[in-house]
Amino acid sequence: QVQLVESGGGLVQAGDSLRLSCAASGRTFSISTMAWFRQAPGKERDFVAASRGSSTTIFYADSVKGRFTISRDNAKNTVYLQMNSLKPEDTAVYYCATGRIGSTSDASGYKYWGQGTQVTVSS
């Protein structure tokens, strides 16, 4: 059974940094795509970043390029999202996902999801 658990969210000020973690179990982590999405109140779930384990390819949404970095520690079955220069518009619940069954950047392309962790950025 695949389980994903996010952690590391919190309340920060604009310009600050956070590192989110997602611990995975129940699958072959090293060859699995891992992705981060976020959902703000009243909005759809949007793509943030993804790391394809088999090809080592990295993808970022335009809104976070240059500020966020996705990385993974295969030995720990954990994927990270380092978020720098945070802005109020980054406020959202952040979710990790795996089990890619479609497009890398679409929420519908993933089978397994964590419960999410809240990130709030004050101005």
Mind giving me the DSSP string for 4-31? EEEE--EEEETT--EEEEEEEESS-GGG
Average pLDDT across each block of 10 residues of the chain; the chain has 123 residues. List them in order: 94 98 87 95 96 89 98 92 98 96 96 97 96
Q: What is the pLDDT of residue 104?
A: 94
Is the Cα torsion angle 61, 62, 64, 67 positive or negative in sign? positive
Q: What is the pLDDT of residue 29?
A: 82
Q: What is the pLDDT of residue 43?
A: 96
Q: What is the pLDDT of residue 64?
A: 98
Beta strands in 1-123 (DSSP E): 3-7, 10-13, 18-25, 34-39, 46-51, 58-60, 68-73, 78-83, 92-100, 110-113, 117-122
